[in-house]
Amino acid sequence: MAAPTDFQTQLFLNNKYVDAKSKETLSLVNPFNGEPISAAVQVAGQEDIDLAVSYAQVAFKSGPWSTYTGAQRAVYLNKLADLIDANAHKLAALDSLCMGAPIAVAENFVVPQAAVAFRYYAGLADKIEGDSFAAEDGTYRIVRHEPLGVCAGIAPWNVPMIYVGWKIAPALAAGNTAIFKASESSPLATLYLGKLVIEAGFPPGVIQFVNGGGKTGALLASHMGIAKISFTGSTSVGKIVQKLATESNMKKVTLELGGKSAALVFEDANIPNAVAGTADGFLLNSGQMCLATSRLLVQESIATPFIEAVKARFLEAASKLGSDPLSPTTTYGPMANKAQFDRVLSYINIGKEGGALAIGGASNGNNGLFIEPTIFVNPDKNSRIYKEEIFGPVLCILTFKTEEEALELANDTNTGLSAGLYTSDLNRALRVSAKLESGNVAINSLHLPAVNVPFGGWKESGSGQELGRYGFQSYLKMKSVHIK
Amino acid sequence: MASYQTNLFINNEFVPSSTGETFEVYNPVDDSLITNAVQVASDADVDTAVAAAKTAFKTWRKTPSTQRAAMMIRYANLLEKHLDEVAKLESICMGLPVHLAKFLLVLQVSNFRYFAGMADKIAGETYPEDGDGYFKMVNYEPLGVVAGIAAWNATQLFVGWKIAPAVAAGNTIIFKTSEKSPLAVLYLGALFKEAGFPPGVINLLSGAANTGSKMASHMDIAKISFTGSINAGRQVQIAAAKSNLKIVTLELGGKSASIIFNDANIENAVTHNSQNFLFNSAQTCSAGSRILVQEGVAAAFIEKLKAAYTQIAASMGDPALASTFMGPVADQAQFSRVMEFIDGAKAEGTEVLTGGGRQGNKGRFIQPTILLNPDKNSRVYTEEIFGPVVTVKTFKTEDEVIEMANNTVFGLAATVYTTNLTRAMRVTSQLEAGLVSVNSSHTALLQTPWGGWKESGYGREGGIHGFTEYLQTKTVHINMNAPDN
């Protein structure tokens, strides 16, 4: 399909598209062909963020939103979900144009998941439950759960629209107001949502969109008027967000950071299923997923044929390299931007020096930022390609003999976001999943977050969680009231 | 004569009774006949409905919860567009003023949306091996085919409380109206179908005690939720036990106390004990029908209450008019019942402060009536009247009034009027009632469960408790130490 050409480029504040006071703009590039996107998206500076926060505070404290019942808030959240579904193609195309995701995936999975999140949290809006206790010692006690205030969300560029759902929906369901910043690489779909926010009938200041990169993000993380920030992105930036939050007003922080997750394939696994999960599944979004199982650990007894099968899937994906992400038949896209492209290539070069390259390893020089699906077999366990998150189509494969060894390998990382486990043995499945040091474990499939269970990382993969009731609780604060 | 949907709604089709038996419905505003064609669900019809619901359950329980929720929300949106028609049907059958009928319909719409939001959040529990070698799960699963029987006083609210949580939880349902008010619910069949509910998921029957009895004793119904009189409720429970031990929820009557302390805001107490009491001609299970007022404010309160009752009496009228607050009682049978209570009180020499008779000479209108200080063993003080008759007694101390309030076999509601926070907490914690309000008559709110203590019934409707009662637990233990093959 032809690339979309009508874009919103301003900030979306208080239900209006307005010019930023800062004069900076973002330069967007289509990663498929390297061409600039003619959208001079305006960057929010200090004044703009201050304005957004004050609008959000008024909306929270005294605007109509502050008077709505949970059931009323739910009506708006459900309306926005319907509008997102109705505009899925447009939103998917805008994301696809900016960061190269195949439009079929964006339109059929990523964008609808945002609507799913809005609907899920709409259902919780009128179910905020506190506690009450009898006066055994002469004092009644109740626990109230109250919203936080103005909540900020910062999203990365890899599946942009999903974060709109994950960060805004629970915030609003709990009665907060939200300020959301998409990645500077992929702001267009998110900005378009302003139109839908108005159409859904939200009062001004309840949902606002600001644009910018690290500087704008830092303004949000350190703003004294923001009660909570939810950040998804790299571990190093996550640590900065935490620091800025603490040093300013100790705002609550949720971090969804990186991973170097392992997939364990035991000899009793269903092999075709395991290949699909660890090869095709790994290549989803060209490997640019925080939960990607980028370390494949295969039991020795099946390793040789298994690795061949994985290679074959990678070669199959490579054969389709170079298609336009905006074409509905494209399954494999480029890296999202030049910085990421350079980063992944530099890891590949490190890996090549280590001598473990099995297949791939080259960029597809014809057009755009494509990198071949790449496999390193038995890399040095101390090498950077084995220890650090690459966030691209680069898979490291190791073998193991025993279950104990597999677990030791899998857990030998300072990350803990996801894990895959392929086995047909019931007890092994329960036993090993219990011992994996990971916030999410998928047995016999690729791990995809589901809205009803919490998604969060252990160790340095993050703090707090999103999704499920747990994610909802993180947008509320407790007040204990003692009545004598 | 206007045409009404009078057929049974089974398996997404409107069908006549298998025996052709019908019954009549009269408009209590003038005792005119509305229709004589309402179909009676025979035993065979109940069997057919249950069979349809049983078949539908196999698929419905596996339908993704988000899809179940989407149908419920579609239905809620449809019903919102049909409020006027449905309110009118309810009103002509049992005399509820149309705007109050709409109020109950809005509650139904809210409940469908509320329970839709719960459908995909049924979370079980897991427990780790913890030394006993078993991985443990507790899962929540639907019951199967469930039944709901509505009383006639607030039918549309009961649709929200019985059908919405049942289908949200994955059950299929057969719902029977009271013979006093069948038409509005049968109308809803078309909306359920339009909303996309598959055939057999929701079935709507009209009929009387025989139909209810067949449902209560059906071997393939897993649970019955009954709202109505205590006598009928006992029959339901006995039939359930004798058949298949189906789960029973009973929402029965009340003789609820309304306690007014010296430090209450009197105007507020008067409003809630007049206007709010007389809502639906006081045909409410939770009605605060025993006013207990502290001596210090009794005279002033009673005088203001009398004025309020007199004013409301003057404004009684046609429930079809938007301006009417209070209409007739539901029908001839209810009229005779309430009048019998009033006549009995008069015969005992109880003072009738205001009202005490029929209003006008057309239709089933009864004057809002205040009975002063009946004997504490009298029928009007101990039994549920279910009409616009309130008794007033005075008390001296807090301990005394708590004992008076609790001195009843019922335990549905109790209300307390006071401006003292600690007194409010202290008194409410001692009242033997499932529903308590402070400085207000008790009303149904979305999140809180509705249900009584003692002989007012058991089980709960509305809120999360109302939802979990449509699920049953399944404990699963997995032996982690079983040897490999």
- Does residue A431 belong to the interface with chain B, where contact is any CB pair within 8 Å? yes
Catalytic residues of A: 256, 290
Radius of gyration from C-alpha coordinates of chain B: 24
Contact A9, A39 (CB under 8 A): yes
Separation CA A171–CA B168 (nearest Å): 25
The DSSP H or E segment spanning B478 is strand B471-479
pLDDT category, A416, cuts 50, 70, 90? very high
Say whether pLDDT at A238 is over 80: yes
Contact A221, A229 (CB under 8 A): yes
Say whether pLDDT at A373 is over 70: yes
Whether residue A427 and residue B123 make contact (CB cut-off 8 A), yes or no, is no
Say whether pLDDT at A2 is over 90: no
pLDDT category, A364, cuts 50, 70, 90? confident
Say whether pLDDT at A439 is over 60: yes
End-to-end Cα, chain A, rounded Å = 68
% of chain A residues with pLDDT over 90: 95
Q: Give the residue-averaged pLDDT of A446-462.
A: 95
Q: How far is B445 from chain A (nearest CA, A)?
A: 11
Mutate to test the interface with A, among B74, B108, B120 (most CBs of A within 10 A): B120
- Does residue B113 belong to the interface with chain A, where contact is any CB pair within 8 Å? yes
Say whether pLDDT at A464 is over 80: yes
Q: Which residues pair with A255 in a beta bridge?
A: A231, A463
Among residues B251, B384, B461, B469, the one annotated as catalytic is B251
Separation CA A78–CA A84 (nearest Å): 10
Give, as one character, the DSSP assignment of residue B484. Answer: P
Choose the closest CB to A140 out of B425, B482, B484. Answer: B425
pLDDT tens by residue, A134-192: 888 999 999 999 999 999 999 999 999 999 999 999 999 999 999 999 999 999 999 99
Whether residue A430 and residue B480 make contact (CB cut-off 8 A), yes or no, is yes
Query: Which residues in chain B are contacts of A481 at CB distance < 8 A?
Result: none
- Does residue B75 belong to the interface with chain A, where contact is any CB pair within 8 Å? no
Separation CA B268–CA A19 (nearest Å): 52
Contact A65, A33 (CB under 8 A): no
Query: Which residues in chain A are contacts of B116 at CB distance < 8 A?
Result: 123
The predicted model scores a pTM of 0.92
Whether residue B119 and residue A123 make contact (CB cut-off 8 A), yes or no, is yes
- Does residue B361 belong to the interface with chain A, where contact is any CB pair within 8 Å? no
Mutate to test the interface with A, among B65, B66, B111 (most CBs of A within 10 A): B66
Whether residue B120 and residue A120 make contact (CB cut-off 8 A), yes or no, is yes
Within chain A, what is the greatest distance between any pair of CA atoms? 78
Separation CA B311–CA B299 (nearest Å): 19
Low-confidence ranges of chain B (pLDDT < 70): 1, 485
- Residue given tokens 């964008």 in the structure block: A111
Dihedral (C-alpha) B41, B44, B47, B49: value to the nearest 10 degrees?
-40
Choose the closest CB to B114 out of A71, A78, A427. Answer: A71
Choose the closest CB to A452 out of B120, B429, B480. Answer: B120
Using CB atoms and an 8 Å cut-off, which of residues 118-137 of chain B contact chain A? 118-121, 123, 128-129, 135
Separation CA A333–CA B435 (nearest Å): 60
Choose the closest CB to A123 out of B116, B479, B482. Answer: B116
Query: What single letter denotes the amino acid at residue B78?
Result: L
Choose the closest CB to B484 out of A78, A122, A425. Answer: A425
Mutate to test the interface with A, among B127, B423, B447 (most CBs of A within 10 A): B447
Q: How far is A123 from chain B (nearest CA, A)?
A: 3
pLDDT tens by residue, A285-331: 999 999 999 999 999 999 999 999 999 999 999 999 999 999 999 99
- Render A64-104 in DSSP notation, one character per residue: GGGG--HHHHHHHHHHHHHHHHHTHHHHHHHHHHHH---HH
Give percent helix, percent strand, percent coil of chain B, each to the nearest 5. Answer: 40, 20, 40
- Residue given tokens 């009895």 in the structure block: B213
Per-residue confidence (pLDDT) for residue A367, from 0 to 100: 65
Separation CA A265–CA A268 (nearest Å): 8
Give me the helices (H) in A62-210, please: 70-86, 88-99, 103-105, 111-122, 160-163, 169-173, 188-200
Separation CA B239–CA A166 (nearest Å): 50
pLDDT tens by residue, B328-346: 999 999 999 999 999 999 9
Whether residue A74 and residue B447 make contact (CB cut-off 8 A), yes or no, is no
* Chain A residue with the nearest C-alpha to that of B77: A75
Give which of B88, B431, B80 is closest to B288, Cα–Cα. Answer: B431
Whether residue B121 and residue A452 make contact (CB cut-off 8 A), yes or no, is yes
Query: Which residues in chain B are contacts of A484 at CB distance < 8 A?
Result: 422
- Does residue A481 belong to the interface with chain B, where contact is any CB pair within 8 Å? no
Q: How far is CA B82 from CA A290, B76, B79, B337, in A?
A: 48, 10, 5, 34
Separation CA B433–CA B305 (nearest Å): 25
- CA quadruple B378, B381, B387, B389: dihedral positive or negative? positive
Q: How far is A168 from chain B (nearest CA, A)?
A: 18
Residues in chain A: 484
Whether residue A483 and residue B425 make contact (CB cut-off 8 A), yes or no, is yes
Query: What single letter denotes the amino acid at residue A85?
Result: D
Between CA A184 and CA A193, with CA A187 as vertex, the angle to 5 degrees is 155
- The tokens describing B88, both together, are 């009118």
Phi, psi of A182 (to 5 degrees): -75, 170
Using CB atoms and an 8 Å cut-off, which of residues 449-468 of chain A contact chain B? 452
pLDDT tens by residue, A247-280: 999 999 999 999 999 999 999 999 999 999 999 9
- The tokens describing B474, both together, are 């399944």
Q: How far is B52 from chain A (nearest CA, A)?
A: 30
Give which of B361, B333, B341, B318 is closest to B26, Cα–Cα. Answer: B333
Whether residue B422 and residue A484 make contact (CB cut-off 8 A), yes or no, is yes
The DSSP H or E segment spanning B186 is helix B183-194
